[in-house]
Amino acid sequence: MRISVIGCGYLGAVHAACMAELGHDVVGLDVDSAKIEKLARGVAPFHEEGLPELLERHVCKGLRFTTDPAEIADAQIHFIGVGTPQRQGHIAADMSYVDAAIATIIEHARTDDGPVLVAGKSTVPVGTAQRLSERLAGSGKQLLLAWNPEFLREGHAVADTLTPDRIVYGLPDDHDVGHVAKALLDECYAKPLAAGTPLIVANYPTAELVKVAANSFLATKISFINAMAELCDATGGDVTRLAEAIGHDDRIGSKFLQAGIGFGGGCLPKDIRAFMARAGELGVDQALTFLREVDAINLRRRDAAVELAEQAVQGRLVGKKVAVLGITFKPDTDDLRDSPALDIATRLWARGAELSIVDPAAGPELRRRRPDLSVPDTVDEAARGADVVMLLTPWREFLELDPAALITKVNTPNIIDGRNVLDPQRWAEAGWNYVGMGRRVSTW
């Protein structure tokens, strides 16, 4: 099929490349000329496993990238993959990029040969699809709308797109129109559907809600275990054992029960806030007041990490050297959006700590943004002379560190395990003062 993808960020660029991998003829459109210039050369503008290979395979064949909206004209499906960030000074989502994408499609899409589908992938406040479909209906062109939320995780985005665990279509109430939209999406996703991917067909609001409900559930699960970490800290318990034990119950499951410095990134934090804002507009704010608590628990984790660093140096961070291992919001990405690690590091710096930050992917970007910070290439360099080492993003190479070797580099052997991923016993035996989040070194 001929496909356009509007917005070539973490979502859109991966979606465009994966659609080409599924055999479609794809054009990706973005207003950011630097990003498009890289993509058009087959270079990934951000760190995402598998994306460079897909770009190399398809750019100049079934995959093009452009800043010229006229080039999307012939697509049979226009996917909207632009961002919906938190609005400045507000908890609601900024919808200006989605609205601009719709305007671009209305202006440039060619519908002389029959109906053309607009498929929304961005995370939007419930009610958006209905509003946009009315705009499309009034455009004078045969433009149909479906909402087709995306569930990809950064770091696994290519695999999540090519072999998703489910596909959701939000279709218009008019069944005849809905069938045309469904047939186009079925053709587009023929491969994953033939492979048995579950398909859920629903109306617009359900499809929009599925996305924010999923992210809210994940955020709630993380904040739940972080609340248990607070209880463990108050009582001497170990939250990692607690999570392991409750996770064996199939109804609970062990995933997303990793306590630590909490969730961040471009999705979970802003999605739960935008969901609360929308519930307020709909007059059902009480249904989501628990998300305020989820957000508050999450933000308290950052305070807790700063306090642990302070305690490790007897309350005075001024002039103390803190080595920060990991600055992205999670491993396998270079994304710094709402990163708990970056927030904690910035607060330590504001309290007078001397920071040395190492990250396998975000080092160059961090040096560009913060030339005043020391951002060495290796853990050894970062740890040299440190009074506290803080592991804040669980990159694999940090999990494999040898505590006996690292201790020879530091000034004082304080290790704060912000993600509860190190073996406390092993680090303690090597001579470190190990501090986890809701977890202490115990004989059991």
**Catalytic center residues:** 267
Residue 274 sits at the vertex; the CA angle it makes with 270 and 277, to the nearest 5 degrees, is: 145
Contact between 129 and ligand UGA per CB under 6 A = no
Contact between 215 and ligand UGA per CB under 6 A = yes
Q: Which is nearer to ligand UGA, 154 or 387 (CB)?
A: 154
Question: Residue 253, by phi and psi: left (phi above 0), alpha (psi -120 to 50) or beta?
Answer: left
Q: Which of 38, 278, 330, 439 binds ligand UGA (CB under 6 A)?
A: 330
> Which residues does residue 435 pair with via DSSP β-bridges, in sequence order?
416
Q: Which of 204, 263, 395, 434 binds ligand UGA (CB under 6 A)?
A: 263
- Distances 122 to 84, 145, 204, 214 between C-alpha atoms, Å: 7, 13, 13, 14
- φ/ψ of 348, rounded to 5, equals -65, -40
Contact between 257 and ligand UGA per CB under 6 A = yes
> Which residues does residue 389 pair with via DSSP β-bridges, in sequence order?
323, 415
Which range, of 43-51, 186-194, 264-272, 357-365, touches ligand UGA by CB under 6 A? 264-272
Contact between 438 and ligand UGA per CB under 6 A = no
Number of residues near ligand UGA (by CB under 6 A): 21
Q: Which of 258, 356, 414, 420 binds ligand UGA (CB under 6 A)?
A: 258
Let me know if 428 is exposed, middle or buried by CB neighbors in 10 A (0-12, 13-18, 19+): middle
Q: What binding mask, one character per residue, do residues 147-186 give for ligand UGA by CB under 6 A, x or -?
A: ---xxxxx--------------------------------
The total of other beta-carbon atoms located within 10 Å of residue 372's CB is: 7
Q: Which of 9, 62, 192, 262 binds ligand UGA (CB under 6 A)?
A: 262
Q: Which is nearer to ligand UGA, 66 or 226 (CB)?
A: 226
Is the torsion defined by CA of 231, 236, 242, 244 positive or negative?
Answer: positive
Contact between 267 and ligand UGA per CB under 6 A = yes
Which range, of 80-88, 201-209, 262-270, 316-324, touches ligand UGA by CB under 6 A? 262-270
Written as one string, the DSSP assignment of 147-209 is E----PPTTSHHHHHHS-S-EEEEE-SSHHHHHHHHHHHHHHTHHHHHTT--EEEEEHHHHHH
- Least distance between ligand UGA and beta carbon 264 (Å): 4
CA distance 113 to 167: 28
Report, in angstroms and rounded to the nearest whole number, the Rg of the chain calculated over CA atoms.
24
Q: Which of residues 372-411 bind ligand UGA (CB under 6 A)?
A: none
Q: Which residues contact ligand UGA (rule: CB under 6 A)?
A: 123, 150-154, 215, 218, 222, 256-258, 260, 262-265, 267-268, 329-330
